Amino acid sequence: MESLKSCTLHADETGWRVSGKTHWLRCFAGDERVFYMIDRSRGSPVLQKFFAESFKGTLTTDFWSPHKAVVCADKQNYWPHPARCRRDP
């Protein structure tokens, strides 16, 4: 798969309505290309469809746990997303 040839992939998802039902739009931004997929599931099985083989690059994601299921050379989490959600006492 062409997307798995990138050195890095930045992955994220957002809600997406299809005929009034919630689906998930996933975005995988690579070195030179961006890949999208829409699925009813937000869990790891849909990631296994995209990552049908191991990814030899670095996968950068938020802290959503299904990303842990992806087999890749390296993983990196970005901090701005959880930092926005944090509330100071």
The domain of 74 spans 2-78
d(C-alpha 35, C-alpha 81), whole Å = 21
Q: How far is CA 33 from CA 10, 36, 68, 80, in A?
A: 11, 10, 23, 23
41 assigned to some structural domain: yes
Residue 21 has pLDDT above 70, yes or no: yes
49 assigned to some structural domain: yes
- Read off the DSSP letter of residue 20: T
Domains: count for the chain: 1
84 assigned to some structural domain: no
- Residue 4: the pLDDT is 82
Residue 88 has pLDDT above 70, yes or no: no
85 assigned to some structural domain: no
- Residue 43: the pLDDT is 92
Cβ–Cβ < 8 Å for 42, 13: yes
61 assigned to some structural domain: yes
88 assigned to some structural domain: no
34 assigned to some structural domain: yes
- Token pair listed for 8: 């890095």
89 assigned to some structural domain: no
- Read off the DSSP letter of residue 62: -
